[in-house]
């Protein structure tokens, strides 16, 4: 079972300096973070240490992260973002 404090930390980390990131990352954390594998949660935590501009570029698919684990979690975030809220 995932620690509630870990989820709260990631909710806080998902609050970025850019509204565009907030609109994608916060719902992902609130809805999907607890269901991620241990590896994916660790990768997401590392992802939250990246600069906003990097995250923005990756989430808009202007660039692809060199880190394959980042690329995989970005793909999960994008898939979530493209899914209608009722189907999440």
Q: Where are the domains of the chain?
A: 4-9+17-83
Asked if the model's pLDDT at residue 74 lies above 90, the reply is yes
1 or 63, which is more confident: 63
Provide the percentage of residues in the chain whose pLDDT is more than 90.
91
Task: Find out whether 41 and 32 touch, Cβ atoms under 8 Å.
Answer: no
- What pTM does this model have? 0.93
Select the CATH number that applies to the domain covering 4-9+17-83 from these four: 1.20.1250.20, 3.90.1280.10, 1.10.150.250, 1.10.645.10. 1.10.150.250
Sign of CA dihedral 6, 29, 23, 47: positive
Asked if the model's pLDDT at residue 1 lies above 80, the reply is no
């Amino acid at each position: 079972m995932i620690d509630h404090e870990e989820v709260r930390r990631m909710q806080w980390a998902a609050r970025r300096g850019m509204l565009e990131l907030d609109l994608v990352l916060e719902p992902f954390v609130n809805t999907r973070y607890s269901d991620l594998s241990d590896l994916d949660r660790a990768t997401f935590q590392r992802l939250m240490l990246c600069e906003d501009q990097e995250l923005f570029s990756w989430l808009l698919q202007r660039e692809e992260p060199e880190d394959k684990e980042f690329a995989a979690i970005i793909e999960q975030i994008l898939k979530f973002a493209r899914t209608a809220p009722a189907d999440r």
